[in-house]
Amino acid sequence: MVTCSNIDSSRICDYVQYKSLCKATIEPLIRQSKEANLKDLAELALKVASSNASAVMLHINHLLDETTDTYVSQCLSECMEDYQDAMYQIEDSLGALDSRGYDDIKTWLTTAIDNIDSCEKEFNFHPLRINILTTINRTFMQLCNNALVITNLLAKTTK
């Protein structure tokens, strides 16, 4: 059984599916706060996902300003809505950490991933268009997945 006492915060990335992404995004933050517990790590993971979503929304805004293609513009607008919804899910998840609402966090992070999966599919309806957001969508979904794993570990330790 996983307990708080047997999880070394500096090795949290060993537990997640997307280890290299975790090492690039969460490990540097862990080094800055050497006394991080599992709840702190879950919060960090959620904040990293939130920050990434904010950056993606800025990128989508830039793309919307630049595109003259009506279909691409429509897809990007739908994706912007998907990212806004995902941001709300992450914000709700951050709020639920203190009240130990781990089942809610699991639901909200899964919904955030599903939102961006919908964004990914937006471009599939036109056979000649490629999704210009595929790489950043994948990164966001992986960040959410890592946050979900860390939160699930936290949930196991507090039962």
53 CB-near residues (< 8 Å, 6+ apart): 83, 86, 87, 90, 140
Confidence band of 159 (pLDDT split at 50, 70, 90): low
Confidence band of 8 (pLDDT split at 50, 70, 90): low
Two tokens, residue 122: 């937006």
Residue 76 inside a domain? The answer is yes
The per-residue pLDDT for 44 is 92
What range defines the domain where residue 103 resides?
A: 37-157
Residue 6 inside a domain? The answer is no
Residue 7 inside a domain? The answer is no
SS3 68: coil
pLDDT digits (tens, 9 = 90+) for 10-55: 688 888 999 889 988 888 777 776 677 889 899 999 999 999 999 9
The per-residue pLDDT for 28 is 78
Distance separating the N- and C-terminal Cα atoms of the chain: 11
Q: What is the number of domains present in the chain?
A: 1
Question: Quick check: 4 pLDDT over 60?
Answer: no
pLDDT digits (tens, 9 = 90+) for 98-150: 999 999 999 999 999 999 999 988 887 776 677 789 999 999 999 999 999 99
pTM of the model: 0.89
Which domain CATH number covers 45?
1.20.140.40
Confidence band of 2 (pLDDT split at 50, 70, 90): very low
Closest CA relative to residue 72, chosen from 133, 141, 135: 133
Closest CA relative to residue 96, chosen from 108, 85, 87, 112: 108
Q: Identify which has the larger pLDDT, 14 or 80.
A: 80
Question: Quick check: 3 pLDDT over 50?
Answer: no
Residue 10 inside a domain? The answer is no
Residue 50 inside a domain? The answer is yes
Residue 91 inside a domain? The answer is yes
